[in-house]
Amino acid sequence: MIRALLVILLVAAALGVGAAAIARNAERREAVLTAEALTGGNVENGRIALQTFGCSACHAIPGIRLARGKVGPKLEGLRERVYIAGVLPNTAENMIWWIQHPQQVDQKTAMPETGIGPADARDVAAYLYSVD
């Protein structure tokens, strides 16, 4: 009897963990779809572009291995922020512009012009808007 109860409790606990994982996956998928629709970019391509263009040298970026830079701000929760770089209203188009031309937005910023083009900037913006 006790053994059967223990098995039931273990199964219930496993199902609870499974349900939580399913809910997290659904939330992540929704965040990706929303970010891609908002920016016209591709989240996975953005993840790759962040690594290719060396963004992790200056920024800590969620989901990017070894992205622990301390020069620029942490790139988490960007979709919740009111401003980009403290001066631009947080819209997808402004984010894409900032990624491509930070020196045109603020000549005193430490963020360099990286040479990132419009398509890659859209992808990076999609990735950044998709992560917490």
CATH number at residue 112: 2.60.40.420
Place of tokens 């920024």: 59
Residue 84 domain flag: yes
pLDDT score of 65: 83
What is d(CA 110, CA 100) in angstroms, rounded to the nearest whole number? 14
Residue 6 domain flag: no
Residue 22 domain flag: no
- The total number of structural domains that make up the chain: 1
Report the candidate in 97, 103, 101, 96 with the shortest Cα–Cα distance to residue 126.
Answer: 96
Report the candidate in 66, 101, 69 with the shortest Cα–Cα distance to residue 85.
Answer: 101
Residue 39 has pLDDT above 80, yes or no: yes
Q: Please answer whether residues 36 and 42 qualify as being in contact, where contact means their C-beta atoms are separated by less than 8 angstroms.
A: yes
Residue 105 domain flag: yes
**Mean of the per-residue pLDDT values for the chain?**
89
Residue type, 24: R
Structure tokens at 69: 């830079």
Q: What is the pLDDT of residues 50-93, one digit of tens each?
A: 999 999 999 999 998 887 888 999 999 999 999 999 999 999 99
Looking at the DSSP bridge assignments, the partners of residue 60 are 68
DSSP code of residue 78: G
> Considering the entire predicted model, what is its pTM?
0.82
Report the candidate in 91, 114, 92, 90 with the shortest Cα–Cα distance to residue 102.
Answer: 114
